Chain A
Amino acid sequence: MPTRITMGMKMNTYRYNLMQSTNTLNDSMLRVQKQRKFNSYAESPAEATQAWRVRQDFMDNDSFKRNTHDTYTRFQTAWLTMGSVKTHLEDATGRTAIIRGMTDTTAAAKTEVGGVLINTADTIIQAMNGAKYGEEFVFSGTDGSRAPFSWNETTGDLLYRGVSITPPDYNNGWKDLGMDWGTTLGEDGIPKDFFKKANYDKIPAPEYEVVEPGNTLATSKSNMEDKKKAMEVKLEALEKLGKEEPPLPLHPSQNLEFFYTDENSDEYKQAEEEYNKYMDKIYKPYQKAKGEYETAVEEYEEAKEKYDTEVSKKEWYEYFQNMRTLNKMSEEVQYADLGMGMKEITDADGKTKMISSTIFNNATPGINMLGYGVDEDGDPKNLVLIMKELGELLCSCDEQGHYPNEGDEEKAFRLFAKFDELSALTLKGYTYTDVQGKYLQSNETTLKDQETNLNEQIADLEKVDEAQAISMFMWDYSCYSAGLKIGTQLLSESLIDYMR
């Protein structure tokens, strides 16, 4: 006996199948309309997850691309500025001018070239300060809101972000002090064991560096001031005795005037008495006061020399302390996330640190372009300062074109050689910005390619094949229509229709 098929069953099944057919048609319709393979996560969790990942990458890529372009523009500004500095150094305002000035025997040429060099140095500083990307100064390292270089109006020092990079006066103690402190500069630009030997406990050490107590600027200053006071007291005492030094009279015995006068004569005795009186009352006290004053002067000068030496040492101490700050400024990093996988690691102390290979460093500190520090000769390792110094030296030549001091010519040649060296540093900076710019360009291109690639992946994962989607829709539509047709036939004739 076959299964009974009743009208109710047929209706049940029909309703169920028609609903399925409607659903399928609806899905196909959505696919065609939205052109998506899936319209909910649940439809295809695996594909949706994959698509989500790709979309995340796409959003990141978009940001990387934009920031790469920004960074590129920043480096382009730096590159252009360095290009202009390079031109200054190479043409008539720079190297060529120096050669002309140094080889020309006329005084006019030397002073003119000297002036040009000083002006060029100023121009370079202005160019470096003028390099801005948006509101940010390109060469200020991580202090982009402020101009990188400035001149101290009082001392005339060149400052980078407020910290002096002009070395103290070479003639005021460097050579002598160098003997004491060691003249071999370390990699950090600081004489080896400098701080151990500096012994400055009266000057605060930045960042709480522990220094051994020792020599004191304050002691030598007070000593000098004491001596000066003593000297002034002696001078006052001396001046009280008379403005002019009293002459030394002759003793009657040596005075020809009394050559024939008897020693026992009254005249002689009176003269002798007057002599003694003068000597005791005027001459000797003056001489004594004079001697005391001269000793006080000597002592003062000695103390002053010591103080000056201390001041000079202090200046060098500060200079080398600040060198550490400048070293830090030179190494500062300004991070940019350009799609290199920015990631941190945690060191043994639990401190997190950015992995340098995963970030791009935006910072182009100006001191890295122009140089800073001092060399063993006490000359600044800064291009602008060298140019200024050389310029001033050339300007100081007399009408005959002679340098004022012995050794100045030699110094001029030395400075020229160093100018060349520092120009190379600047060229390196120029090349650095160029190379970074090119890298950024290539990164941008890669990111653009990546964008296309990701777009394709998104399309592959999410977008429907239109031909397939439409044919599926047509098929589903036909099925649905057929289903409806069946519905009209469902309540078909039965035996009852044939009964009479």
Chain B
Amino acid sequence: MAVIGTFGSYTAAILGIHSSQTAMNVTGNNIGNINTTGYTRQRVDQSSMYESGVPRYQNSYNINIGYGALVNQVTQLRDPFLDIRYRNENASYGYYESMQNGLKQLANILDEVGRGGEDEFGIIEAQLGDLKNMLRDLLEHPASTTQDDLVRGSANTLCTLLNSYAKELKQVHTSEEERMMDMKDEINSILSDIRGLNEQIRNQDIYGNGALELRDERNLKIDKLSKYMKINVSYSMEQINATTQIEKLTISLKNSKDYNWSQAQKEITLVDGLYAAQFDFGPADEKDPDVLMEQVIGEDNKPVFDQSDPPQPVMEVTGYRFYDIGILGKKDDDSKIFVTQAEFDRMDKATRDDKYKVIENDSYIDLPIGTTLAINPDYNPIYNKNVGKYLMDDGKPTDKLEEAAWLTSYQDEADDNRYIFRLTALTNKDGEVMNDEVPALMSRPVWLDDNDTFGSLQALRELLTEEGEFSSKLDVALDPNAATKHGIPYYQHMLDSFAQKIATQMNTANTLPDVNDYAKVYALTGTYKEIADPNDPNKKIPDPSMTFADKNSPDKDNPDPIKAKLTEMPDVTFKKSDGSEETLSISGGEDKITLELLQKLKKIITAAEDPDNPFPALKWKADGQRQVPDESDFEAYQAAMKNYQTCLDALRDNGTLTPEYTHYDGGVLFSNNGEGDDPSNITAENISVSQSWAHGRNRVLNTVEANLSYLEDGEIKYKDGTTRDDNIAHIISLWGQNLKYNAKDTVPDAVYNGKDFYNGSFQYMYRKATSTLAVDTRTVNLEYSTFSLTTLNLDNDRISVYGVDLNEEATNMMQYSQSFSAACKLLTTIDEMLDKLINGTI
């Protein structure tokens, strides 16, 4: 002190007043913000001002004394470790919260516990029981049409309930989808906001301002983001000039990997200082059915790229990376090489010819623009011995591109309800891409794996896409646990599977299974004809030459409706398995149907099931329609199916029941719409009582046995049994049978190890859906409770550090008030001292 001037002592007092004042201000700020969400308590960092130099004329009696308190800065009290822990748990909390919310909506539809009026027998569950009991009553009174009407009424209610449940599930799906869209916007907004805050904080940092409130706001945004996905937040120092470093915030997706060309796997970055990505769902637009995906492996077990200018993958999905390529060539050493179309176009001819030797038919293979190539992420040398080869579907190597394997599973998924999350390249607020000046380092869009985001976004994706046992090959490839995850589609498929099984079983039981039997029931000509079975002379079979002649109406103005129907039927031309074509003409110009024609149509329809069928097997497409190698064949198939139904209708309308089956009043009970009798592609949403049943043309078939025959005066006569009930009994017994449920029956591309996913009765199958939901809900509820408590505790731990405490602030207030008073006292005392010294001494 001695080194300062006489009035220097005032400095210490003034600094004391100033520091106390500042501390008091900070205390005031803390108290004021005690209710501000996310506010981090602040404190004044002050130090003792001290002069360390030795004055030339230092008085040897003097000692060095500080100049008083100096306010260095105002800082925040925050524990970054707790932030990390909180944010990790917050993602889980978000996941289970969203999942719980979704499952609750499903439970509102499917959980029937305590529902169903006073009896509380449930809704669909009670209806199933009702239908079974109605059938039992019909068994008791098999001749009663009233009882049959009651069965039909009960079946109709069941259909209506299933339709309504399916529609409600669809509604839930739509609303969850909308929620995800909103969430996407929210996430993008957060990412943009963080980017903006980063910029503001950076600017403040440059001017040495702590920007504490901005940091609080940023932390809040990060906390919010952490609920949507699992993130890593890191702070690093960025060199902004030779002497200055400032803090940079980077947020990346935790546990995610960005496979890039250099194999340097790194976490996927969401925010990098002044750059941020935006979130989107893909690849609806990328799902080009012509996408070619093949595995190409080079000699070094790496993809064969032009090493000097490797293309960047456009999409990364577990298992495969996808590159845009346009041109595939072959180098002198026979290794393959490819570049994008644009790069190829830039090359002069000499370079092209040098690099891209002809490989097929004296020309380059010019792949369609946008053709995407897939490689194994680990450059997996599964086919090490066959390097440089394309792989065919059967895994064998080939040199021919056209034989290369198509990842059909991915193609099958083209129309599936897949949400592949995509992040755009990191851009700044002006839309400039990060590192765009260095191509190799330039930020690129990234496609996320199914499990890359964990948090409420992931929960929504799972709710919207997971199909459990109905998962496809690709679903399982992307997520090995896909078969055990149950989202809305799973419950939709379960209901569909349930509806299909009931319809198929009841329809089969109520209909004679084969067209031959059908012809046996309905004589085509009205006079049933049989011939000896060439394979068994003791047996007789329907005469295939039997025809159903249309009733020609003489009145041209009022043509016979059946004739009109037959005339409308198109000819169908099919490719047979030997490559030849066959045209089936229904009307044939003669307005008649032959049994042979019916049998052929039937064969086409059942082609997939019959290995000896001359027609190529029809595969199922993801949308539930059958797929054939040639689309025109598919149309022919559809025409054949329609014609078959029309023929059967015509037969039923105009044919005559054979004497053995005069009692026959069976037929399709359930249809895919109420306006017809089409039992194909039945789902929970469309299952209906068939038109024929609704109109009483079909009944629940009492018996499948032929009428009893007897002789009267040398003639065979037949006697039916009006109260026979063997078939009703059979139908009821179906309700007690364990039936096999195969996922492929409902979702053609389902894998599930090729096994039946369930074996049980109708009622137990329905129960399986609801019990699965219950178990999932229970698990999620438990997890939700756990994580909500954990996040609460962690948040409390954080608040414990950064939260404002009134007692503490009150203490501070008193303390700073006292120190302020003391500093003021010091000032007056010094003043008195100087007064004495100056005025009192002289």
Contact = CB atoms under 8 A, between A and B. Distances in A.
Interface of A: 3-9, 12-13, 16, 34, 36, 38-43, 45, 48-49, 51-52, 55-56, 59-60, 62-64, 66-67, 70-71, 134-136, 140-146, 161-164, 202-204, 206-208, 210, 217, 314, 318, 321-322, 325, 328-329, 332-337, 341-344, 352, 354, 359, 362, 462, 494-496, 499
Contacts of B708: 325, 328-329
Contacts of A70: 140
B804 A8 contact: yes
B725 to A, nearest CB: 5
Contacts of A145: 143, 722-723
A362 to B, nearest CB: 8
Contact of A6 (B715, B770, B773, B805): B805
A4 B113 contact: no
Given A43-B778, A162-B717, A335-B139, 4 more contacts: A6-B805, A48-B774, A163-B719, A325-B719
A329 B718 CA distance: 13
Q: Tell me whether chain B's interface is mostly helix, strand or loop, or mixed.
A: helix
Interface in B796-811: 796, 799-801, 803-811
Given A38-B113, A143-B722, A359 B729 contact: yes
Interface stretch (B241-249, B610-618, B730-738): B730-738
Contacts of B121: 55, 59
A136 B143 contact: yes
Given A144-B723, A337-B136, A337-B139, A4 B778 contact: no
B724 A332 contact: yes
Contacts of A13: 792, 796
B125 interface: yes
A9 B803 contact: yes
Contacts of A204: 711, 714-716
B113 A136 contact: no
A350 to B, nearest CB: 12
- Residue among B120, B136, B142, B800 with max Cβ neighbours from chain A (10 Å): B136
B368 interface: no
Interface string B114-135: 1000001110011001001100
Contacts of A202: 714
A336 B805 CA distance: 79
A9 B777 contact: no
Nearest to A363: B723
Given A16-B788, A135-B143, A335 B728 contact: yes
A203 B711 contact: yes
Interface string B781-824: 10000001100100110011101111111110110000000000
A42 B782 CA distance: 11
B591 interface: no
Nearest to A358: B733
Contacts of A136: 141, 143, 723
A163 B710 contact: yes
B143 A334 contact: no
B538 interface: yes
B150 interface: no
B763 interface: yes
Nearest to A352: B730
B540 interface: yes
Contacts of B696: none
Contacts of B107: 40-42
A45 B774 contact: yes
B409 interface: no
Given A4-B803, A337-B729, A42 B538 contact: no
Contacts of B112: 41
Contact of B767 (A52, A62, A217, A343): A52
Q: Report, nearest first, the 10 A-B pairs whose CB atoms are least far apart.
A: A144-B723, A6-B803, A41-B774, A206-B709, A42-B777, A495-B810, A145-B722, A142-B721, A335-B729, A59-B129
B717 A45 contact: no
B204 interface: no
Nearest to B782: A42
B724 A142 contact: yes
Contacts of A42: 103, 107, 111, 773-775, 777-778, 781
A336 B710 contact: no
B710 A322 contact: yes
A318 B709 CA distance: 12
B452 interface: no
B81 to A, nearest CB: 15
- Residue among B139, B723, B730, B814 with max Cβ neighbours from chain A (10 Å): B723
Contacts of A321: 710-711
A41 B770 contact: yes
18 contacts: A6-B805, A12-B795, A34-B114, A38-B114, A40-B111, A41-B111, A41-B774, A42-B773, A42-B777, A52-B122, A52-B125, A134-B141, A203-B714, A318-B713, A335-B726, A337-B729, A354-B726, A359-B729
Contacts of A354: 726, 729-730, 733
Contacts of B721: 141-143, 332
Given A71-B140, A495-B806, A334 B711 contact: no
A343 B540 contact: no
A7 B540 contact: no
A36 B811 contact: no
Nearest to B796: A9
Given A56-B763, A354-B729, A496 B806 contact: yes
A49 B764 CA distance: 10
Contacts of A206: 709-711, 716
A12 B799 contact: yes
B34 interface: yes
B767 A67 contact: no
B144 interface: yes
Contacts of A210: 538
A70 B814 CA distance: 93
Interface string B24-41: 000000000010000000
A59 B811 contact: no
Contact of A67 (B140, B142, B807): B140
B767 A49 contact: yes
A36 B114 CA distance: 8
A67 B137 contact: yes
A337 B732 contact: yes
B209 interface: no
B771 interface: yes
Contacts of B725: 142, 334-335
A80 B378 CA distance: 86
Contacts of A352: 730
Contacts of B103: 42
A299 B476 CA distance: 94
Nearest to A55: B121
A67 B133 CA distance: 10
B158 to A, nearest CB: 14
B635 interface: no
Contact of B775 (A5, A40, A45, A208): A45
Given A45-B774, A60-B129, A354-B729, A499 B719 contact: no
A418 B497 CA distance: 63
A499 to B, nearest CB: 6
A494 B814 CA distance: 13
Given A143-B723, A342-B732, A8 B132 contact: no
A495 B767 contact: no
A66 B763 CA distance: 21
Contacts of B142: 144, 334
B132 A5 contact: no
B720 interface: yes
A45 B771 contact: yes
B648 to A, nearest CB: 25
- Residue among A135, A328, A335 with max Cβ neighbours from chain B (10 Å): A335
Contacts of A332: 721, 724
A64 B133 CA distance: 9
B709 A344 contact: no
B136 A63 contact: yes
B719 A161 contact: yes
